[in-house]
A = this chain, B = another copy of it.
Amino acid sequence: MRMSEGVEWAVHCCLTLGWLGDDRPVPTSRLAAGYELPPAYLNKQLQALVRAGLLTSTPGVRGGFRLARPLDKITLMEVVAAIEGPDDAFQCTEIRRRGSGAESPERNFRTPCAVSTAMRKAELAWRRALAAQTLAEVAAAAERHAPNLGEGVRRWYGRG
């Protein structure tokens, strides 16, 4: 079970957009250069963030992406869901009904599968932990070890 690499890219790009701060959109090419990522593929990931309502895109010459909301209104859960999709990692295929289960009609399969319930319980804890952290908190944690991080980013993007 490996999470898509796009999640890492998406979180970092959102943080960068937050540090830049102003409302001028940033094109994919610039963000890709800022992390040495393949521009076209990064664009694909940013499109997913737009569809999820986390970013807004503006076409045209001075176009690009900007945050749809401030960082303290975006949770890690939203970014992960935007890239990875809404499905749970564990997907119950109801194998309990097949084979031996099919031959015991006295069992009621209306009640949810106990295995699925247990796995879902754990995933819920994961989702809660993701939803409890906003991107603003992550940005603050990053700046705790590098106080002038935002300034450096603004300088690199030519927005000092």
Contacts and interface: CB of A to CB of B under 8 A. Distances in A.
Contact of A123 (B103, B126, B138, B152): B126
Interface stretch (A44-52, A62-70, A88-96): A88-96
Contacts of A5: 91, 93
A4 B36 CA distance: 31
A33 B99 contact: yes
Contact of A2 (B36, B87, B96, B113): B87
Nearest to A96: B12
A123 B123 CA distance: 9
Contacts of A4: 1
How often does this chain occur in the complex, in copies? 2
Contact of A122 (B87, B103, B133, B152): B133
Nearest to A137: B118
Nearest to A115: B11
B36 A118 contact: no
Given A36-B99, A99-B33, A152-B104, A129 B133 contact: no
Interface of A: 1-5, 7-9, 11-12, 15, 33-37, 76, 84, 87, 89-93, 95-96, 98-101, 103-104, 106-108, 111, 113-115, 117-119, 121-126, 128-130, 133, 137-139, 141-142, 145-146, 148-149, 152-153, 156-157
